[in-house]
Structure 1
Amino acid sequence: GNTRLLSDAEREYRFYNLGFGYNLFPGEAFFKSWFSDKTYAFNSNFYLLAGAGATDFAGDNRFTATFGAGYQVILNDAVTMSLVFREHLYDIDVLGEEKTSINTELSAGLSVFF
């Protein structure tokens, strides 16, 4: 039916973390042009991430461990593209039984330096 387990305020999800990364495979990425025989080389980085923080959900604040990986391509001196995958793990007991929640985060970014 129409049973609400959490109030509107308890449904808000916030997380905070402090992470560290390690550049595992610095190198170059090669892309072939679709319109000609040219091949382009860009500096790239594959890195691992780990961190710790807190998750606020269901009126509770829980310790959160974070880990993941990312890939960055440096297009030129001012523009980079990145793709990052992270997992957030924390214990929660919304229904009375404590369980480990695993939240997946996937983000893509375009950075412009000036």
Structure 2
Amino acid sequence: METWFQRIFLASCMVVGVNNAPVQAQEVTPDIKQNVINENKLDSENWSLALSGGAISIEDFGNSGLLKAQLTYHITEDWYLGAELAMAKAGLTSFEQLSGAAPLLTDSQREWQFYGAQLGYMLLPGQAYLTENYAYNSGLSVFMGAGNVSFAGDDVFAMQLGSQYRLFITDWFATELTVTDYIFETTILAQTKTSHNLAVSLGFSVYF
């Protein structure tokens, strides 16, 4: 028969785990606060229309304002194909400014225009954290294309190389910063040479 001493000893073993006796389990509730994240998904539309403005350095003719419009078809998440129209007006050459001689070109001949197509690749897709609570989808792409430049009374074949940084403000609206080099042959100054015309533009695009 168990004595009162044995009963007290066995009860203490159940509580403190003496002599490898089982310890009474206690329920532990972790105090972890979970954050709820709402991820905005981009629209599934494959077309976008962009309008932008900036500046272009027309070789030998100084810097000028630039206006561009672009219609783009997004083939996949990484590849896109675009059609572009860009316009500017060339200034005076250094010779015209210093010599005071008659202008080399008329006003209409100073109109600079490019139209063509380009193929682009999304090189670095990612996100931009503008605040602690908001992140925006972004991407850095590179592109190359070809088309036609109308300038100084001539229409010549031109190539374009460049890169673009795109920041999505909403799922259908984005802002774009683009750097482009328009490359073509010119004979305006009595010798044939390859002309590089660097341009920087900032604009907005709408997806539909």
TM-score by length of 1: 0.85
Cα 1:51–1:113 shift into 2, 3 Å: closer
Deviation (angstroms), 1:97:
0.7
Identity of aligned residues (%): 37
Structure 2 counterpart of 1:21: 120
User: When the two structures are aligned, how many residues end up with a matched partner?
Assistant: 109
**Aligned ranges 1:95-110 → 2 under 5 Å:** 95-110=189-204
Give the one of 109, 134, 158 matched to 1:40: 134
Find the structure with the greater CA-based Rg: 2
Q: Where does structure 1 lack aligned partners over 5 or more consecutive residues?
A: 33-37
CA shift at 1:113, angstroms?
4.7
The structure that is strand-richer by fraction is: 1
Q: Distance in 2 between matches of 1:61 and 1:97?
A: 17
Return the match for 2:111 from 12, 20, 34: 12
* Runs of at least 5 residues in structure 2 that lack an aligned partner in the other structure: 1-99
TM-align CA RMSD: 1.6
Provide the residue aligned with 2:60 in structure 1: none
SS of 1:96's partner is coil
**1:30 partner amino acid:** Y
**Shift in Å, 1:78:** 3.0
Instruction: Note the C-alpha offset of 1:82.
Output: 1.1
Runs of 4+ in 1 over 6 A off after TM superposition: none
- Counterpart-to-counterpart distance in 2, 1:54 and 1:112: 26
Residue 153 of structure 2 is matched in structure 1 by 59
- Deviations, residues 48-97 of structure 1 (Å, cap 9, x unaligned): 01000111111111110101000111122232111111110111011211
